[in-house]
Chain A
Amino acid sequence: MDPEQELIDKCLGNDPFAQELLYRRFAPKMYGICLRYVRQREDASDILQEGFIRVFTNLKAYRGDGSFEGWVRRIIVNTAINHYKANTKYSRDLSVDEVHISANIDNDALSRLSTEELLKLVQELPDGFRMVFNLFVIEGYDHKEIGQMLGVTENTSKSQLHRAKIALQKKLLKEYNIVSYERTA
């Protein structure tokens, strides 16, 4: 039997050692995801805990259709979305920014940034921008899906992604001086 499936079966039998083993296997990667979705590490820890509790309590729902890691990842991301919704009193339906800015990025300088530095840039984005940026750029969802997940319109998702990118570019310019702007419209 597949070792991963064997581990899952033991977890289904509420074997605490198997559960801890499963947690140890996936926790670092999932915690890395959690860190991208919130600004504070304490909140990332909360999401990780709640997410893994959901993983174990809903383990029966995993049918082996896709990778187990992908299944766990979706639960963690959904938990982060719920956390965002629970802590967002209101969401602004932003209009699409008509200002087009062409950013010239120094790719060599950009590639020299560490992952921790990039994480800090993402974490410092406003909550809504950060959510859309993560879901679109990293997770690969489209705006329609993001709109459904966050309870906003598709246009709002697009707008927030655009603003998120501008905010990131400004940060790169301000802190690392590796971006230059040119207003085109």
Chain B
Amino acid sequence: MNEQPDDLDVLMRQRFEEFQKDPPEGTWDNILAGLNTPAKPAGLISRRWIFLPIAASVLLVLTGVYLGLSLYRSDVPLTALRLDTLNIQEHRNVPATAAPLKETVSPNIPVTSQIHPVHNIPTPQVIPQNAHDVQQVTEQQLPLPVNSNEDFALAPGLQNQNNTSANLNTGQQIAANTGQSGRNYEVISTMNNKPYNELNITLCSILTPISSPATERLAQRHDYTRHPDFFVGLKYTPAYQMQANNNSFIHGVALDGGIRIRRMIIQTGLGLEFQKAENLVLISYLTDHTGYQKETVKATTHYTYLNLPLIVGYQWNVGKWALSVKGGGIYTLQAGIHRDEISPSDENAVSFQTFDRSTPRKTKWLNAILIPEAEYYLSEHFSVYAEPSFRYTFLNLSSEEKTSSQNLSALGLNAGLKVHF
């Protein structure tokens, strides 16, 4: 082959030697942003760290599925038990050998067995937890029989006036059987619950677009609009739930994942929430000495929820800012409930048992959610974001309570740090 420069070579060299063209606007800004980005060791971050969130995400999913399934199997029928549908039962001179009662004991509720001398039973007192709670439990709302210490009928109890949150509409019957007549007590209602507001604060979030030369270049330019990139996020989302009668803290973990195609976002995931709630429960019981008594007691209940979101959105990029609006639905499943043992303040009430009075059922909701989000890129690999969320429960899918009136609104605020690889 002839490698001597020909006329074309000479011409090309002459023309291109001094060829100039103005670069696009904004190039310097991007260079300046790149200069302010801490240099990363080449080839280390993406390879070393990209498996960490993926492994954590897989672990989270498996844990969530396991917990959800195991809690379901041992579900205690505390969920949204409507007291007005309960069969009224009478306990007349319950014999000491009430063996069938033991067979109905739920395996998750501990059974205590204590023997107390009958002649030492103190006078039971109504012990409200606080003044506000007492207002919720009035004598007029309790059509309970008080004329006999032998005949005992379960009263309808307080009707749930605003049955907005099925996880809080709990009730159960507790029968105390000391082996002697007239030593029974039972829960007749929980307190009423009202819609709550919820504040979610994301402490830490990891978002990891799967790396490619294209996405790296785009990240450098803060422009995610030309190529699809995949992302997965792991969030810890504590929340504080405020209600009329009780406040509770919710620990949540959520796995988000999706794809961003140009400006479109399609996102799904799995959320797992753990709630420890203290409800006020009104109980009544009979004693040999004082007859029928009632009181409110605190009941600690542990709830587990599974959230399955499907969200779509649209994103705008303005310099280092990424603004998006997302919306969609969340399918929420009450995966499990467990209530700590409750007992009356009468220390002489002994050997009580808890038994199911309705078939356990799955409580589930459909929520609509709207999430505007603002994200600011601190550098190529880090960004901070804030996203308020507006959630509205528009459909209760529980078999017994398909009503659109039981709506729940929740206001959330997620804020955190995203790490891009």
Q: Do the two chains bind?
A: yes
- A contact residues vs B (CB 8 Å cutoff): 16, 19-20, 23-24, 27-29, 31-33, 35-36, 41, 45-46, 48-50, 52-53, 56-57, 86-87, 96-97, 100, 103, 105, 107, 110-111, 115, 118-119, 122, 137-138, 158, 161-162, 165, 168-169, 172
Given A49-B221, A50-B220: A138 and B13 interface contact (C-beta under 8 Å): yes
A122 to B6 alpha-carbon distance, docked (Å): 16
User: Is the Cβ of B23 less than 8 Å from the Cβ of A31?
Assistant: yes
Chain B neighbourhood of A49, CB < 8 A: 27, 30-31, 34, 220-221
User: Is the Cβ of B20 less than 8 Å from the Cβ of A122?
Assistant: no
Residue pairs across A and B with Cβ atoms less than 8 A apart, 21 shown, are: A23-B28, A27-B22, A27-B23, A28-B23, A29-B19, A29-B20, A31-B23, A35-B21, A46-B220, A48-B27, A49-B34, A57-B35, A57-B39, A87-B213, A110-B11, A115-B16, A118-B12, A119-B19, A137-B13, A138-B17, A158-B1
Chain B neighbourhood of A29, CB < 8 A: 18-20
Closest Cβ neighbor of B226 among chain A residues: A42
Give chain A nearest CB distance to B138 CB in angstroms: 71
User: Is the Cβ of B7 less than 8 Å from the Cβ of A52?
Assistant: no
Given A41-B24, A57-B39: A36 and B8 interface contact (C-beta under 8 Å): no
Given A46-B217, A105-B7, A162-B1: A20 and B28 interface contact (C-beta under 8 Å): yes
Determine whether B9 belongs to the interface, using a CB cutoff of 8 Å to chain A: yes
A110 to B27 alpha-carbon distance, docked (Å): 34
User: Is the Cβ of A115 less than 8 Å from the Cβ of B15?
Assistant: yes
Determine whether B52 belongs to the interface, using a CB cutoff of 8 Å to chain A: no
User: Is the Cβ of A115 less than 8 Å from the Cβ of B213?
Assistant: no
Give chain A nearest CB distance to B16 CB in angstroms: 5
- Given A32-B19, A50-B217, 7 further pairs, Cβ under 8 A: A23-B28, A29-B18, A41-B24, A49-B34, A138-B13, A158-B3, A162-B1
Chain A neighbourhood of B18, CB < 8 A: 29
Determine whether B318 belongs to the interface, using a CB cutoff of 8 Å to chain A: no
Given A49-B27, A105-B7: A31 and B21 interface contact (C-beta under 8 Å): yes
Chain A neighbourhood of B21, CB < 8 A: 28, 31-32, 35
User: Is the Cβ of B8 less than 8 Å from the Cβ of A115?
Assistant: no
A118 to B11 alpha-carbon distance, docked (Å): 9
Give chain B nearest CB distance to A162 CB in angstroms: 5
Closest 10 CB pairs of A and B: A28-B20, A32-B19, A31-B23, A53-B34, A115-B15, A86-B213, A137-B9, A29-B20, A32-B21, A52-B31
Determine whether B117 belongs to the interface, using a CB cutoff of 8 Å to chain A: no
For window 187-213 of B, CB contacts with A under 8 Å fall at 213
Chain A neighbourhood of B23, CB < 8 A: 27-28, 31, 45, 48
Chain B neighbourhood of A28, CB < 8 A: 20-23
A103 to B13 alpha-carbon distance, docked (Å): 19
Chain B neighbourhood of A115, CB < 8 A: 15-16, 19
A97 to B2 alpha-carbon distance, docked (Å): 12
Give chain B nearest CB distance to A171 CB in angstroms: 11
Chain A neighbourhood of B34, CB < 8 A: 49-50, 53
Chain A neighbourhood of B17, CB < 8 A: 138
Given A46-B221, A53-B35: A27 and B27 interface contact (C-beta under 8 Å): yes
**Interface 1/0s, chain B 166-204, versus A by CB < 8 A?**
000000000000000000000000000000000000000
Determine whether B32 belongs to the interface, using a CB cutoff of 8 Å to chain A: yes
Chain A neighbourhood of B24, CB < 8 A: 41, 45
Determine whether B41 belongs to the interface, using a CB cutoff of 8 Å to chain A: no
Give chain A nearest CB distance to B219 CB in angstroms: 11
A172 to B39 alpha-carbon distance, docked (Å): 45
User: Is the Cβ of B8 less than 8 Å from the Cβ of A165?
Assistant: yes
User: Is the Cβ of B220 less than 8 Å from the Cβ of A32?
Assistant: no
Give chain B nearest CB distance to A16 CB in angstroms: 7
Give chain A nearest CB distance to B212 CB in angstroms: 10
Chain B neighbourhood of A16, CB < 8 A: 32
Q: Which of A29, A52, A97, A110 has the most CB of B within 10 A?
A: A52
A73 to B6 alpha-carbon distance, docked (Å): 25
Determine whether B5 belongs to the interface, using a CB cutoff of 8 Å to chain A: yes
Give chain B nearest CB distance to A70 CB in angstroms: 12
Chain B neighbourhood of A52, CB < 8 A: 31
User: Is the Cβ of B1 less than 8 Å from the Cβ of A19?
Assistant: no
Closest Cβ neighbor of A111 among chain B residues: B11
User: Is the Cβ of B8 less than 8 Å from the Cβ of A105?
Assistant: yes
User: Is the Cβ of B16 less than 8 Å from the Cβ of A105?
Assistant: no
Closest Cβ neighbor of A137 among chain B residues: B9
A48 to B19 alpha-carbon distance, docked (Å): 15
A19 to B13 alpha-carbon distance, docked (Å): 30
User: Is the Cβ of A23 less than 8 Å from the Cβ of B8?
Assistant: no
A123 to B327 alpha-carbon distance, docked (Å): 44
